[in-house]
Structure 1
Amino acid sequence: MNKLQKIINSENNLQRLDDKHLDSLRLELSNAVALVTSIDTSQSRFCIDKSTLAAETASFYLKQRQNIFNSGFPSAQLPYLTLVTQKLTQLNNVFIELYKIDVGYIYFLKDSYPDVALWALLSIGLEKIDNRSSFFAISIADALSETSWKSIASLSDSEGFCAASRILIQSSSIRSSLLFDTLQLRGELSSKFAMTLLSLDCTIDEEIMHRYLVTQNLPSSCDWMVQQPVTPSNVFEHLLSRPDRREWFRTQYDPNFTVDELAIFGDILGVSEYTHSAFEPSCSIATVRFALKGDSRDVNQVIAMLSEINEDTGESWIVALYVIFGTQLPVLPSQIGTDIDYSVAVKEIQTWWGERSEIVFSFWRSGDLQNFDNSLNLLASVEVTANLRMWIWKELCVICRGYFPWNSLVKAERQYSVLSKMRSNCVAKERYNVREKNAVVGY
């Protein structure tokens, strides 16, 4: 057992682990790679070929899994997600056996297939063999973009990642912010831990920690937040911090400077300066604003333009239409490209709407007035993209004046758990459902 292994196994020494130890891990792994790639034996050649072929396939399935999560709720009832999960489980068993022979057969993938290397190192099966695997995974953080790294780590079944991350954060690792964000995505942060970090000389930006603590309704962090300038990255937490959110938000309106996030939140809060602005389909956030408003005045224009835009863009608008009409829409977003061609789908939608175009409505969702239940149902919809579901979730938090730790890019079981708690929150339900009476918005 090497020195680092002894430190990891000793609970009393956990705080001694820092970036220097990650450097020693990288050196150990690099030496392992040099060894397995320099030995010209039949076993070594077989293992390298096996690892490379398995990685190529695993990378494909990891991308497919991410596409499924991006496209809609990752329901266990989706046949393709079940297939992808089974394939990844089989491939993970291959990497576990290769790891037993030598870690070098996994680590050498970090340059060609960094997504697979990270995914394998954060698997529970590999963790049972070597409790350093989470540290190995963290040591290759630079091999992937921050978004990709967090996406893979958020879906990991690793039981040691949380402890490894906390140790490195407390030792002021250069990766502290990345690990802090990932722990929050995984639902493994606590107010106590974040408050402890605030009292230490931590490398994480103070605002990041206060933003998290605002979601936990910590009064001191809420007070701190209201003193800070508004930016696209902190406007959500500003709204959670303020009892007079609607009146305050109106003071932020600037007709000469409209940020995407501010425009969306302006719609959510019903601030007329935003809600009365002209509908611009070419705007980057147009589909989000259209879906959240649920206003019949814009539907005619959207449905008419479906036949004039490319399929990729058109599908995002059909998802937005689904948010408004639900199963009343004659074509489901998931059917396009598999069960029905885009052009045929557009014709069906246009014919269907032609028979209903005289209907006038606003704040429509799933074919009915927006309410707490149909909004929650959309968070668990396989038809609604992760981005739209994220905005519906933010809308729920703002209108209900309470934060729910939901994330569209974690496993279905964790999402179901949060949604179940939300569904049983009678106060939140009442606050959302009186929205149209202006009894809650801006309260």
Structure 2
Amino acid sequence: MIYLDNNATSRLDQEVLDSMLPHLKEDYANASSLQHKMGRHANQAIEEARKSVASILRVQPKEIFFTSGATESINMVLRGVFERYQSKGNHIITCQTEHKATLSTCAYLEKKGARISYLPVDKNGAIDLNELKEHITAQTILVSLMSVNNETGVIHPIKEIAQICREEDVAFFCDSTQSIGKQDFDLTTLHLDFCCLSAHKFHGPKGVGALFIRRKTKPLQVAPLITGGNQEQSLRGGTYNVPAIVGMGIAIQRIKEINTSKITQLRDYFEKRILSEIEECTVTAQKANRICNTSNITFKYARGSEIMTKIPNIAISSGSACVSGSRNPSHVLKAMGLSDEDAFCSLRVSLSKHTTLQEIDHTVEALKTAVNDIRSYSPIWQMYKDGLLG
């Protein structure tokens, strides 16, 4: 099996698993049970993991809050800011190509009285920064934009967006899920108010993530999404998932070992071969500023679902894993101007530090065979070749 779906999830590192096992077997105490030694030991392990996350982001440990992952963090920020800042306004700005966790939550908030602006993108997935400025009003309480698009790998200019938000005195929340482990994310130079991450995107365990909330002279206020005990400064109640949090602390430290230049070379090699050896295919936003590991490719008149059926031993995807059951074309590709047909004929390939040249070569050959086979019995492809279709 060749695994090239790392934007959906990544392989758990052995060192990460090894760090988790003691907290599943011997050191299994509740981290909130501080009355006894085992509980205090579990709590100390959580605080060490918090320091690990903070050190990579270059922030204070008290600014890191553990959650179940980015989706929970997104809900916490969007709902929490809307609840706490209604006295100022009800306007939130986001983008048409955001993750469904953001778009679905914004749709929910609209029913609660929020006014949401969905910024459009151009063919390269880029927003117009002047348009962002124009949408900010006295009623704007939050700008929510991802750092890297999970389907195309397109990188937003987060530093410039953050500067605009600072000048306009508007809070900025960045979904940085696809950035961690693939690019430097230094919050001493990126002036974000909130950002979130999920451990399973950088070879950590599933079901755990972190939310960063910047401490200011006047701390940002977010209503808790999950109430209960006093865990996470009363912002996120519930029993700590100690093994997962510990694993995340180890995984995030290991991202310093990832050779992103090597991953970029493999991605570029893959795209070069695909474009030269399979006719009528294109790389989405090929010339745009993209993250090192992601390729979104459209194979004219060869449906992505059919291609994947013909290559069962290669794990790739037709878009975000969170909407894989949808029968609709990718909202990201549609927003970038692709037709429904081209969106249905697109596949995402996302590499990792474990990807090899041999795996890339094998994947290219398998894709060539699959696409050529599909087109060989397609009357639509033949009509296109005969010049009867655009």
**What range is the shorter-chain TM-score in?**
under 0.3
Q: Which has the higher strand share?
A: 2
CA radius of gyration, larger in: 1
Q: Relative contact order (C-alpha < 8 Å, sep 6+): which is higher?
A: 2
TM-score scaled by length of structure 2: 0.25
TM-score scaled by length of structure 1: 0.23
